[in-house]
Amino acid sequence: MSLRHRPLKIIETFDEQLSSLSSDELKTFVDHVRHRLDDIDEKKKVVPQEETN
């Protein structure tokens, strides 16, 4: 298998950890991810104001 087609180790580890979560832990994780994505979206929306002299 070529390097390109081999799964990345970090993704394998993440999948293992994610699959071991209980439903409550998974909900908490998803809520956290949504919150972080909302924060990122808000930062993108903020346009620096020009200074007025």
pTM for the structure as a whole: 0.46
User: From CA 40, how far away is CA 18, in angstroms rounded?
Assistant: 23
Q: Which two tokens stand for residue 33?
A: 């991810």
What is the chain's pLDDT, residue by residue, as a tens digit (53 residues)?
555 666 566 667 777 777 787 888 888 888 888 999 898 888 887 766 665 55
Helix/strand/coil (H/E/C) assignment for every residue in 14-36: HHHHHHCCCHHHHHHHHHHHHHH
User: From CA 10, how far away is CA 16, in angstroms rounded?
Assistant: 10
